[in-house]
Amino acid sequence: MVTATARVGLIEGDGIGPEVVRSARDVADEALSAAGAAEIDWMPLPMGQRAIAEYDDPLPYSTLEALAELDGWVLGPHDNAAYAAHHRTGAPPGGAIRKRFGLYANIRPVRAFAGVRAGGIRRESPDMDLVIVRENSEGFYADRNMFSGSGEFQPTPDVAMSVGVFSRAAIERIAHEACRLARSRRNRLTIVHKANVLPMTMGLFRDVCYEVAADYPGLNIDDEHVDAAAAHLVRAPGDYDVLVTENMFGDILSDLAAELGASLGTAPSLNCSRTQAMAQAVHGAAPVLAGHNRANPAAMHLSTAMLLRWLGARREDAEVMHAAERIERAVAATFEAGIATADLGGLASTSEFTEQVRARVRRW
């Protein structure tokens, strides 16, 4: 049954952004058609260098206004390090969007794909399938932990300080997200913290997560210090199902896990609240690759699939959720067939990889 059309923002961003975002749009359209779902009404919106050229602002107010009226959006990477100095004074565009719309959960799944080289090893039997649930609004990141101003400051030229913020309300809502996700997977949740040296802040995070998890009978729960978790990820990633942690630890651990599984080019993420969601690949803008048809679009494909799954669940639209599954299976099957871009040791261009995924989307 084809239901109402969703309206989704399409923000290409900088560097390889236009290439991978357009690739993800084409794959999503193919999957939606194959699943018998309604088409997406894509709304292109400016951000980054294009927006600076048109509006003298990397994130124009008109873009923010438009996002508020949409069902979700796909965000390409930004290269704010290359912006003129006066355009680097505030939060980078992605952070500003997350804060503006209260996207407090950053969901980062990591899979080891059969046929993909990771650490020089071509995997035939992948042993990593986990999700890192990262609290996205507080912690130690200076652009997210203050109502006004920065969480970093210098009382003297020779002393720099950083404020970490941990509130019960923010911990509770991210813990609920993690518990719901674990219940839908293999029923195991690991709380990652550093309460042995930060007993108030990290201790609060750990304890509140346990309190919330008590409302989910049958869930298997444990906790680990972040350094132990990093070592455990390297040694036995297959032991994990869902990990929940604070902002900075989640950022670091998810990048580590992505490289263990394959590369950042395969690492998707979804930033969301209970009412809005944004697909955003974990990787950056890679300006040296821009325009050369060499970028890996898989992370953006998989991020867009996460957005479709989120939209389908919220709208109770089985066809859209089926389209998301088609994308995920098609990407995995493409890798298993030995087709990959240069970052994974392959020879496929961005456009060639895209066409291979599009062809496989139709088979499921």
Q: Write down the pLDDT at residue 3.
A: 60
Q: Give pLDDT tens digits for 199-241.
A: 999 999 999 999 999 999 999 999 999 999 999 999 999 999 9
Same domain, 252 and 312: no
Give dist(CA 253, CA 179) in Å, integer.
19
Residue where one domain finishes, among candidates 209, 228, 261? 261
The pLDDT confidence band at residue 124, using thresholds 50, 70 and 90, is low
Whether 257 and 301 share a structural domain: no
Decide if 4 is inside a domain. Answer: yes
Q: Of the ranges 79-83, 143-147, 235-239, which one carries the lowest mean pLDDT score?
A: 143-147
Question: Do 242 and 141 sit in the same domain of this protein?
Answer: yes
Position 126 confidence tier, pLDDT thresholds 50, 70, 90: low
Instruction: Give the model's pLDDT for residue 125.
Output: 47
The domain in which residue 247 lies consists of: 117-261
Domain end, chosen from 203, 236, 261, is at 261
Residues 263-283, mean pLDDT to the nearest whole number: 95
Active site (annotated) includes residue 207: no
Per residue in 89-102, pLDDT tens?
878 899 899 999 99
26 is catalytic: no
| In-domain check, residue 345 | yes
pLDDT tens per residue, range 157-178:
999 999 999 999 999 999 999 9
**Number of folded domains in the chain?**
2
Report the range of poorest mean pLDDT among 20-34, 64-78, 116-130: 116-130
Q: Catalytic: which of 104, 141, 240, 317? A: 141
CA distances from 54 to 37, 46, 59, 62 (A): 35, 9, 11, 12
For residue 59, tell me if it sits in a domain.
Answer: yes
3-state secondary structure of 361: helix
Taking residues 106-124, report their average pLDDT. 76
- Looking at the structure, do residues 162 and 231 belong to the same domain, yes or no? yes
d(CA 141, CA 36): 42
For residues 181 and 316, state if they share a domain: no
User: Are residues 231 and 293 both part of a single domain?
Assistant: no
Q: What is the mean pLDDT of residues 136-150?
A: 82
Query: What does the pLDDT read at residue 137?
Result: 93
Together in a domain, 187 and 216: yes
Tokens of 118: 């990771």
Which residues have a Cβ under 8 Å from the Cβ of 110 and sit 6 or more positions away?
A: 128, 129, 130, 131, 132, 237, 254, 257, 258, 260, 261, 267
Assess if residue 267 is contained within a domain: no
- Residue 129 included in any domain: yes
Q: Identify whether 268 is part of a domain.
A: no
251 is catalytic: yes
Residue 336: C-alpha distances to residues 47, 127, 137, 239, 339 (Å): 35, 14, 37, 23, 7
Residue 357 has pLDDT above 70, yes or no: yes
Q: Are 177 and 313 in contact (CB under 8 A)?
A: no
Burial of 129 (0-12, 13-18, 19+ CB in 10 A): middle
pLDDT score recorded for residue 127: 81
Q: Whole-angstrom Cα distance, residue 246 to residue 135?
A: 5
Catalytic residue among 79, 194, 223, 240: 194
Place of tokens 């997200």: 177
- What number is the average pLDDT over the span 51-63? 95
The answer to whether residue 107 sits within a structural domain is: no
> In this structure, what CATH number is given to the domain that contains residue 32?
3.40.718.10
Mark whether 227 is an active-site residue.
yes
Shared domain for 78 and 130, answered yes or no, is no
| Domain assignment of residue 109, yes or no | no
Decide if pLDDT at 4 tops 80: no
Do 75 and 209 share a structural domain? no
Average pLDDT, the chain: 93
* Residue 194 is a catalytic residue: yes
